[in-house]
């Protein structure tokens, strides 16, 4: 296929380069004249895959579209603009996205004016972009994680021209702050504290798709939290690929402990943060979490593997013993803390013994919850080049074994909640049963409960009557606040 000159195509090699020094911050957002009010009377649909960073990016995409006058569509069938915000972390994420893009052909055939666009991490991968350009002619717009602020101009270009618009930067970019946002939640909000990642774990595509670590200024973050509090939000989650490294790129002597403490002092009711990297987790951070009641006693602390040799080959920068040391320090200092984790099985050349070390660690830590994955080679990452004699059948069996071990231990932990009273921030009626309410405890446990006179956003005491592996059942026992 002939590639047009004005396309900016992705380049993973370029994206993996890092220069020293701070990144420029841009806090103005300009709408070009030809895009102004272009969405009046029109509607958009956004489909989001992947992590919280993507959820938050979709809120920005929606915010920009609403600034242009677009309203939210009831379904993709009635939308004038459809955007798919993609994830590249594992291969099955790509299969799902391609499946959805395939299903949009029908909409395009019925309404060829519809603009179908692809954004996000997968758009940073050249193989994916080439595939979409070759086989999905109804996709008219492709842009990457660094080009969100260009959406008005890109949409205007896609509407005016018969050509497809492809705009993806791989070079190190400036950080755009203060873009418009449409929050999808009314009581819980995501707050970006940093973008990108410089850790380069050998299996991971994120440092390439999201670029160099760029921390936001602390004053901007605190101002956003204060504003959210004023607007009635009760919970914020501070977001970053590696929140514990916050500030290291700023040369201002700031770190995550200080940011957490300052955030706690805003008085917002619930503070969460994710994701933590064990290597950057300090005792001071643990102390701050322990000291403030509004910092929730819940930590997502990816282990990835319980074997020191695998961890070394993953480029994780800690040994199994060091992880356990940190885990113990957290549990000792923070009463009732819940810890969840991520684990990858079947990393190249993982031996039976190495896998056993992971099981041993899971038994020793008794995680509250675990997100478990089979290793998925990501082209362009160092691990994708490693030899891997372990069969997929063995990897599947390991995943199953791991899941049964952590499930059983987590259920025991959940059982300990029976007969206790927990504080639940209410999301609303439960998805499965509209007669039942649901929400989350301070330790991030999903609770389904009965109660009257309760609305979304309330915090209520709930008496736990029964525990399951993934949720608790209960009854409201006192007044809401």
Which residues of the chain form contacts with ligand 5AD (CB under 6 A)?
A: 89-90, 203-204, 302, 304, 342, 344, 373, 375-376, 378
What span, in angstroms and rounded, lies between the C-alpha atoms of 106 and 77?
9
Applying CB under 6 A, the site for ligand SF4 has a residue count of 10
Q: Which does 354 bind (CB under 5 to 8 A by kind): ligand SF4, ligand 5AD, none?
A: none
Residue 314: CB minimum distance to ligand SF4, A: 8
Torsion angles phi and psi, residue 429, rounded to 5 = -60, 145
Q: For 365, phi and psi rounded to 5 degrees? A: -90, -25
CB of 219 to ligand 5AD, least distance (A): 30
Does 194 participate in binding ligand SF4 (rule CB under 6 A)? no
Helix ranges restricted to H, 266-418: 283-291, 308-314, 320-333, 352-365, 392-415
Which of ligand 5AD, ligand SF4, none binds 200 (CB below 5-8 Å, type-dependent)? ligand SF4
DSSP output for 379-406: TTSGGGGS-----HHHHHHHHHHHHHHH
Binding range to ligand SF4, per CB under 6 A, among 43-51, 194-202, 343-351, 450-458: 194-202
Q: Which two tokens stand for residue 287?
A: 């102390």
Distances (CA, A) of 172 to 13, 43, 145: 12, 33, 12
CB 212 within 8 A of CB 18: yes
Within 214-253, which residues bind ligand SF4 (CB under 6 A)? 241-242
Structure tokens at 313: 């080959």
Q: Which partner in ligand SF4, ligand 5AD, none is near 89 (CB below 5 to 8 A by kind)?
A: ligand 5AD
Are 274 and 338 within 8 A, CB to CB? Answer: no
Give whichever of 108 and 256 is closer to ligand SF4, judged by the CB atom.
256
- CA distance readout (Å), 189 to 4, 55, 60, 129, 225: 40, 11, 13, 31, 9
Instruction: Determine, following the binding rule CB under 6 A, whether residue 277 of this chain makes contact with ligand SF4.
Output: yes
Which residue from 25, 131, 182, 199 is in contact with ligand SF4, where contact means CB under 6 A?
Answer: 199
Minimum distance of ligand 5AD from residue 285's CB (angstroms): 19
Q: Is 136 helix (H, G, I), strand (E, B) or coil?
A: coil
Best CA proximity match to 481, nearest among 187, 183, 273? 187
Tokens of 41: 């009377």
Q: Does 206 bind ligand SF4 (CB under 6 A)?
A: yes
Based on the shown chain and the rule CB under 6 A, indicate whether residue 362 belongs to the binding site for ligand SF4: no
Pick between residue 197 and residue 338 the one whose CB is nearest to ligand SF4: 197
When CB distances are held under 5 to 8 angstroms depending on the partner's kind, the choice from ligand 5AD, ligand SF4, none that residue 241 binds is ligand SF4
3-state secondary structure (DSSP) of residue 243: helix
Q: Which is nearer to ligand 5AD, 167 or 210 (CB)?
A: 210
Residue 90, contacted partner among ligand 5AD, ligand SF4, none, CB below 5-8 A by kind: ligand 5AD
Contact at 8 Å (CB) between 45 and 73? yes
Query: What does 292 bind: ligand SF4, ligand 5AD, none (CB cut-off 5 to 8 Å by kind)?
Result: none
**SS3 call for 315:** coil
Q: What does 12 interact with, of ligand SF4, ligand 5AD, none (CB < 5 to 8 A by kind)? A: none
Using alpha carbons, list the distances in angstroms from residue 21 to 24, 50, 212: 10, 30, 11
State how far the alpha carbon of 198 is from the alpha carbons of 17, 58, 172, 327, in Å: 10, 23, 12, 23
243 contact choice in ligand SF4, ligand 5AD, none (CB below 5 to 8 Å, kind-dependent) = none
Helix or strand or coil: residue 221? helix
Stretch that binds ligand SF4, among 136-144, 178-186, 196-204, 350-358 (CB under 6 A): 196-204
The answer to whether 204 contacts ligand SF4 (rule: CB under 6 A) is: yes
200 near ligand SF4, judged by CB under 6 A? yes
**Of the candidates 10, 144, 207, 240, which one interacts with ligand SF4 according to CB under 6 A?**
207
Question: Nearer Cβ to ligand 5AD, position 305 or 438?
Answer: 305
**Which of 67/341 has CB closer to ligand SF4?**
341
**Cβ–Cβ under 8 Å, residues 65 and 102:** no
Positions touching ligand SF4 (CB under 6 A) are 197, 199-201, 204, 206-207, 241-242, 277
């Amino acid at each position: 296929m002939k590639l047009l000159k004005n396309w900016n195509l992705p380049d993973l090699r370029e994206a993996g380069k890092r220069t020293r020094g701070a990144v420029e911050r841009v806090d103005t957002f300009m709408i070009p004249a030809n895009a102004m009010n272009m969405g009046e009377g029109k509607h958009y649909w956004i489909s989001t895959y992947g992590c919280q960073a993507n959820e938050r990016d979709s809120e920005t995409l929606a915010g920009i579209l609403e600034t242009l006058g677009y309203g939210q569509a009831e379904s993709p069938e009635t939308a004038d603009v459809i955007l798919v915000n993609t994830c590249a972390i594992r291969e099955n994420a790509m299969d799902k996205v391609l499946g959805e893009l395939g299903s949009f052909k029908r909409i395009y055939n019925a309404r060829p004016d519809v603009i179908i666009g692809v954004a996000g991490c997968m758009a940073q991968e050249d193989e994916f972009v080439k595939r979409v350009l070759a086989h999905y002619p109804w996709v008219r717009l492709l842009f990457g994680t660094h080009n969100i602020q260009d959406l008005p101009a890109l949409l205007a270009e896609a509407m005016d021209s018969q050509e497809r618009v492809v705009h993806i930067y791989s070079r190190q970019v400036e950080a755009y702050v203060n873009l418009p946002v449409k929050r999808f939640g009314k009581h819980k909000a995501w707050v970006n504290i940093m973008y990108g990642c410089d850790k380069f774990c050998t299996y991971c595509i994120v440092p390439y798709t999201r670029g160099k670590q760029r921390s936001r200024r602390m004053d901007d973050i605190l101002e956003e939290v204060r504003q959210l509090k004023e607007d009635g939000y009760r919970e914020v989650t501070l977001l970053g690929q590696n929140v514990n490294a916050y500030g290291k790129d700023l040369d201002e002597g700031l770190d995550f402990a200080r940011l957490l403490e300052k955030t706690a002092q805003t008085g917002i009711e619930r503070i969460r943060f994710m994701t933590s990297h064990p290597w950057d987790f300090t005792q001071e951070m643990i102390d701050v979490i322990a000291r403030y009641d509004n910092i929730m006693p819940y930590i997502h602390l990816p282990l990835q593997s319980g074997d020191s040799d695998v961890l070394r080959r993953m480029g994780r920068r800690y040994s199994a013993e060091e992880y356990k040391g940190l885990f113990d320090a957290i549990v000792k200092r923070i009463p009732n803390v819940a810890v969840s984790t991520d684990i990858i099985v079947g990393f190249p050349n993982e031996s039976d013994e190495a896998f056993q070390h992971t099981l041993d660690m899971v038994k020793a830590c008794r995680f509250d919850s675990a997100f478990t994955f089979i290793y998925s080679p990501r082209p362009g990452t160092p691990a994708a080049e490693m030899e891997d004699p372990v069969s997929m059948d063995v990897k599947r069996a390991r995943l199953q074994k791991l899941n049964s071990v952590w499930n059983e231990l987590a259920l025991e932990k959940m059982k300990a909640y029976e007969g206790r009273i927990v504080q639940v921030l209410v999301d609303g009626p439960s998805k499965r049963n509209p007669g039942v309410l649901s929400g989350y405890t301070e330790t991030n446990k999903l609770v389904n409960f009965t109660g009257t006179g309760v609305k979304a956003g309330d915090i209520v005491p709930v008496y736990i009557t029964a525990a399951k592996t993934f949720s608790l059942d209960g009854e409201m026992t006192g007044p809401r606040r």
